[in-house]
Amino acid sequence: MRTTRPFAQVDVFTALPYLGNPLAVVLDGAGLSDAGMQAFARWTNLSETTFLLPPSAEAQAQGADYRVRIFTPGGELPFAGHPTLGSCHAWLEAGGTPRATDTIVQECQAGLIRIQLQSSDGSARLAFGAPPLKRSNPSPKLLAQVAAALGLKPAHIIAAQHLDNGPQWLGLLLDSPQTVLQVQPDHNALKDLGQKVGLVAVDSAGAAPVLIARGNREARAFGARSADATLADTAPDAEQPALEVRAFAAPLGINEDPVTGSLNASLAQWLIADGYAPSDYIAAQGSCIGREGRVHIHQDAAGQVWVGGSSVTCIRGQVTL
């Protein structure tokens, strides 16, 4: 039997409506079948649709405030970044009260995700603790196939990693933001490869000379600084995006995702750990599709990477499911 349920559509990783990544949130998913959730996610045709539920007894005993299930038009995800922040935003706005004073705890298929309320320059934003990352080197064959599908030459690629924090991506660190922005993928080729790809580059005004020098000895002639320079010596303006990111997910039916929290989380863990990026930075995403997503990255003293951003509710209402 269908019933009326509270619903919100939230724009994530932006403080201005319609410039981030939209998320559909069903605030009461109790009693819905898997098939019903999937059918509604297919109907919204957004990159993700979430359904909020009470936490399981086991998760509640560990401090969980609510449970979320995350669906793309093609299937369920164990974890995703912008649905985590957008769902938490909608839950708080609808009157949700965290059990702890400083942290919201979300249950999802990937486990328990901690979310903090952060403030900066008078603005508030949520940030999730990046889940553990598994990463490995891609095969030369796959890397060559993906590069061909993206129209990239080997010299454009500084480093590459398979990244897995629930969602799996092939992450490519490129030589410049301009290269990232100029890529015109063959989405059918990526779909045939079954490969989601995340591109990232560091702004040349920041740490890029260090990155190029570390990643490609032949590029030393183009850098004004030694490869031994510290990231602190070349840190970008904290108020400006230091990285440019793009995400291609043709195997999921999404040619280009506007702003991708899970990808930014895994990129941050990789790039910070390997010395390619500073421990605090802002990433821009969505530039090529008319969005202005901003992802705030912070690594705390314990080594935990936090992925933050603003959210704004664009639609409030009810849905019959």
pLDDT at 238 over 60: no
Q: Which of 199, 134, 211, 201 is nearest to 172 (CA)?
A: 199
Closest to 95 in 3D by CA, of 6, 4, 2:
6
Task: State the Cα–Cα distance between residues 161 and 249, nearest whole angstrom.
Answer: 16
Is 7's pLDDT higher than 70?
yes
Predicted pLDDT of residue 119 = 65
Confidence of residue 87 (pLDDT cuts 50, 70, 90): very high
- Active-site residue flag, 292: no
pLDDT band at 121 (very low <50, low <70, confident <90, very high): low
Identify the top-confidence range among 72-76, 108-112, 213-217, 222-226: 108-112
What is the tens place of the pLDDT at every residue in 18-46?
999 999 999 999 999 999 999 999 999 99
Above 60 in pLDDT, residue 211?
no
Spell out the alpha helix ranges (H) of the chain.
Answer: 34-44, 57-61, 81-93, 140-150, 177-182, 187-193, 208-215, 261-273
- What is the pairing mode between strands 168-174 and 157-164? antiparallel
Q: What is the pLDDT of residue 122?
A: 53
Query: How confident is the model at residue 102, as a pLDDT?
Result: 85
Would you list the DSSP string of 172-239? Answer: EEES-HHHHHH----HHHHHHHT--EEEEEE-TTTTHHHHHHHH-GGGGGG-SS-TT--GGGGPPPTT
pLDDT (0 to 100) of residue 33: 97
Is 233 a residue whose pLDDT tops 50? no
Asked whether the predicted pLDDT for residue 231 surpasses 60, the reply is: no
* pLDDT band, very low/low/confident/very high, at 312 (cuts 50, 70, 90): very high
Q: What pLDDT is attached to residue 8?
A: 98
Q: Closest Cα partner for 158 from 197, 201, 190?
A: 201
Taking all residues of the chain, what is their mean pLDDT, rounded to a whole number?
89
pLDDT band at 59; cut points 50, 70, 90: very high
pLDDT at 254: 87
pTM over 0.75: yes
- Measured distance CA(265)–CA(259) in Å, rounded: 12
Contact 103, 114 (CB under 8 A): yes
More confident residue, 139 or 73: 139
| Domains in the chain, CATH or no CATH each | 4-129+309-320 (3.10.310.10), 134-303 (3.10.310.10)
Provide the percentage of residues in the chain whose pLDDT is more than 70. 87
Higher pLDDT, 93 or 122: 93
